[in-house]
Chain A
Amino acid sequence: MVALSRRRFLGAAGALAGALVAGCGAEEAAEAPPSDADVLAGLLRHEQALVTAPAGDTAAARAVRDQDRRHVGRLTRALSERGGAAGAPPAGDPASVPARKQQAVFVHVEALPRLSDPELRVLVMQIAASEAAHLAALRLAAGEEPVPDAFAGFTEAGAA
């Protein structure tokens, strides 16, 4: 699992500023970059976990799970097209549904710079947006503030 804390949101793009100016750090440059198939395999495991974990039986939860199944299918196909194969779904994740969804947003966004194929980046952005939307829809269904953060959870400050 990619450990991506909310505080790592590019400091309202501050950290990004350094990255844009400096490019990759020496440590990163020394490592072989992952292939698109490697990145897709990691994303697929996250989506599989979303589908296999218990999520309740509300209309919102059913709609979300149906769309997650489609994400799994599309990612599996993209992985297969690049010579990879889907592994077994991970064991049940004890995290709550919103926590899993939030993590899904994080991992899809974090994966973007590691994908070399522009069309794959667009697909992953579309899934990331869908996961963020799921989170808002589930919050609405629970009677919670649907969008507490301007950056879909990447900042803790929220919409103060």
Chain B
Amino acid sequence: MTAQVGELFAAARTDSGLLKAGLHVEQVAALAYAAAADGPLQGEERAQALRFAEHERRHAAAFETMLFALTVPVEARAGAEHLDAMLPGLRRAGRREALEQLAGLEGAAIAGHQIMGRRMRALDALRTVAAVMAGGAQHLVVLRRALGASALTKTYETGA
């Protein structure tokens, strides 16, 4: 899954391509948190997943707005088939596996955003990309704690 996200960003050759990759990953992340809330996660973790799903929808909306600014139409929207391709088995996963998959997706998205930081030409767009990335880094802290990680933060958050 991480590799799949990385390939999406790596294959993008233009700003619009990078933004489309970012949009797709955020849309899949919204579906992923919703799916985790529908199955593997319970109680407060389920409630948190629903909040994070809403965050991801907002992130996706920010990417859409940037694409509109470049006059790039957004035709495709990620669906269940994309979620199943990127996070196979999430719906049937146990709690820990679901949390690990979500953390992996957040990390891969952060790494992708940093590829955008290196390659985008419209530098003003990086403020929004980085605000999305920072939100993802905060999600990652919550997921790491739920997974019992000894270190919740990293000196240089690369998503890895």
* Interface of A toward B, CB cutoff 8 Å: 9-10, 12-14, 16-21, 60, 63-64, 67, 70-71, 74, 105, 108-110, 112-113, 118-119, 121-137, 140, 146-147, 149-154, 159
Contacts and interface: CB of A to CB of B under 8 A. Distances in A.
Contact of A112 (B55, B117, B136, B152): B117
* Main SS class of interface, A: helix
* 8 nearest A-B pairs in the assembled complex, by CB-CB distance: A152-B134, A129-B157, A17-B69, A132-B134, A150-B55, A13-B65, A113-B123, A129-B137
B152 A121 contact: no
Interface in B114-157: 114, 117-119, 122-128, 130-142, 145, 151-157
A12 B61 contact: yes
B117 A118 contact: yes
* Main SS class of interface, B: helix
Contact of A13 (B62, B135, B138, B151): B62
Nearest to A108: B130
A108 to B, nearest CB: 8
A55 B114 CA distance: 29
Interface residues of B, number: 51
B138 to A, nearest CB: 4
A113 B155 contact: no
B100 interface: no
Nearest to A113: B123
B65 to A, nearest CB: 4
A130 B153 contact: yes
A27 to B, nearest CB: 15
Q: Which of B55, B122, B137, B140 has the most CB of A within 10 A?
A: B137
Given A16-B124, A125-B114, A126-B114, 18 more contacts: A13-B61, A17-B68, A20-B124, A21-B69, A60-B152, A67-B154, A109-B130, A112-B117, A112-B123, A118-B118, A126-B157, A130-B137, A132-B157, A135-B138, A136-B137, A146-B142, A152-B134, A152-B138
